[in-house]
């Protein structure tokens, strides 16, 4: 069924906000569907996931003042940001239907945000002003792929534990540990290594060496098929630890632990 005006109205009418889009070429071929999730605040802060098709309560829009001048290219994003300041998240409804088709042509942001670079700056400004209105301490930076938000960490950053499972993985483990030591900028962290019955001499010697360091602890478990039990038991270690589970694909010289990553795991976020 085509997403025409009548079809869209049937689905949208009972709700405040709804969407799901595809892109349409000049010949009418539809492609690149964007199947949207329910409202996700962090995702919304990275780009305008509501986009063009949204249904809002008129009285709230009038109280807000509608579209603001000076934010051309992101006025719909700015309106949505102001709107969510007045309602609770449960009042935002997502209709899981494709109700909107967006024509792709030269100069349209369907080709990429670089087609309208001013929209990137306008979107970043709209979000920064939203944070200022809500008392959220954060900085915003626009980019061709979306908006990047950096939240301020608490004055005393919470303890983060990096949990590293290993078995006879000397080279991978050493590579990972060297990367953490050399590149980590987060100040309050410790390392917990789960050794699943290593028996290679170089691995055992390395584990013995690093286990004496104050911020590193090694736990050994020789039971077979430890990985499943390891995952199920991890929550009993300590309730408020941040956790970053490092599996084989993450063992690389580029592994690094930054402030920005963990600012997302520190609710409530810092307020003015």
- What residue numbers bound the domain in which 71 lies? 5-116
Strands (E), 73-231: 100-103, 138-143, 146-151, 160-166, 189-195, 216-220
Residue 270 counted as domain residue: no
Statement: residue 270 has pLDDT above 70: no
Same domain for 34 and 101, yes or no, is yes
- Identify the residue with better confidence: 236 or 217: 217
Which of 63, 92, 116 is the last residue in one of the domains?
116
pLDDT digits (tens, 9 = 90+) for 220-230: 888 775 454 55
Q: Is 33 helix (H, G, I), strand (E, B) or coil?
A: strand
Same domain for 174 and 77, yes or no, is no
pLDDT digits (tens, 9 = 90+) for 180-198: 888 887 888 899 998 989 9
Same domain for 108 and 187, yes or no, is no
Residue 142 counted as domain residue: no
Same domain for 164 and 235, yes or no, is yes
Top mean pLDDT of 9-13, 82-86, 258-262 is at: 82-86
Q: Is 128 left (phi over 0), alpha (psi -120 to 50) or beta?
A: alpha
Residue 149 counted as domain residue: no
Statement: residue 200 has pLDDT above 60: yes
The residue-averaged pLDDT of 149-166 equals 85
Same domain for 109 and 22, yes or no, is yes
When divided into structural domains, the chain yields a total of: 2
CATH number at residue 203: 3.90.550.10
Top mean pLDDT of 15-19, 52-56, 225-229 is at: 52-56
Residue 203 has what pLDDT? 96
DSSP 8-state code for residue 255: -
Same domain for 181 and 98, yes or no, is no
Strands (E), the chain: 21-24, 30-34, 100-103, 138-143, 146-151, 160-166, 189-195, 216-220, 242-245
Strands 160-166, 21-24: pairing is unpaired
Which of 116, 143, 173 is the last residue in one of the domains?
116
Same domain for 32 and 85, yes or no, is yes
Residue 193: CB atoms within 10 Å: 22
Residue 152 counted as domain residue: no
What angle in degrees, to the nearest 10, is found between the helix axes of 170-183 and 201-210?
A: 30
Residue 144 counted as domain residue: no
Contact present, 241 and 235 (Cβ < 8 Å): no
Residue 126 counted as domain residue: no
Statement: residue 99 has pLDDT above 70: yes
Same domain for 15 and 108, yes or no, is yes
Same domain for 11 and 111, yes or no, is yes
The tokens for 132 are 């200022």
Same domain for 93 and 35, yes or no, is yes
Same domain for 79 and 16, yes or no, is yes
The tokens for 14 are 């009972």
pTM here is 0.67
Share of residues in the chain with pLDDT > 70 (%) = 69
Statement: residue 138 has pLDDT above 70: yes
The residue-averaged pLDDT of 92-97 equals 86
Residue 22 counted as domain residue: yes
pLDDT confidence of 171, banded at 50, 70, 90?
very high
The residue-averaged pLDDT of 43-58 equals 89
Contact present, 241 and 159 (Cβ < 8 Å): yes
Closest-CA residue to 183 (of 77, 258, 260): 258
The residue-averaged pLDDT of 169-173 equals 93
Closest-CA residue to 195 (of 206, 184, 183): 206
Residue 189 counted as domain residue: yes
119-136 residues labelled b (16+ CB within 10 A) or e (exposed): bbebbbbbbbbbbeeeeb
Residue 156 has what pLDDT? 82
Q: How far apart are CA 93 and CA 89, in angstroms?
A: 9
Same domain for 44 and 98, yes or no, is yes
The residue-averaged pLDDT of 16-40 equals 68
* Phi, psi (deg, nearest 5) at residue 142: -80, 150
């Amino acid at each position: 069924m085509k997403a025409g005006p009548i079809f869209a109205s049937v689905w949208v009418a009972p709700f405040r906000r709804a969407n799901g889009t595809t892109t349409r070429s000049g010949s009418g071929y539809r492609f690149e569907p964007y199947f949207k999730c329910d409202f996700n605040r962090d995702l919304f802060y990275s780009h305008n996931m509501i986009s063009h098709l949204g249904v809002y309560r008129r009285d709230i829009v009038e109280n807000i003042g509608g579209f603001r001048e000076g934010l051309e290219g992101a006025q719909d994003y700015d309106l949505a940001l102001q709107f969510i300041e007045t309602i609770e998240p449960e009042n935002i409804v997502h209709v899981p239907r494709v109700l909107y088709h967006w024509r792709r042509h030269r100069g349209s942001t369907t080709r990429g945000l670089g087609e309208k670079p001013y929209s990137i700056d306008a979107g970043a400004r709209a979000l920064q002003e939203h944070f200022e209105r809500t008392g959220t301490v954060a900085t915003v930076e626009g980019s061709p792929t979306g908006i990047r938000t950096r939240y301020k960490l608490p004055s005393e950053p919470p303890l983060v534990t990096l949990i590293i499972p290993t078995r006879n993985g000397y080279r991978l483990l050493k590579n990972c540990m060297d990367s953490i030591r050399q590149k980590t900028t987060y100040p309050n962290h410790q390392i917990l290594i789960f050794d699943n019955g290593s028996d290679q001499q170089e691995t055992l010697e390395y584990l013995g060496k690093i286990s004496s360091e104050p911020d590193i602890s090694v736990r050994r478990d020789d039971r077979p098929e430890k990985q499943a039990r390891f995952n199920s038991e991890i929550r009993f270690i300590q309730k408020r630890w941040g956790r970053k589970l490092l599996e084989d694909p993450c063992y690389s010289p580029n592994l690094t632990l930054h402030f920005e990553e963990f600012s997302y795991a520190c609710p409530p976020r810092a307020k003015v």
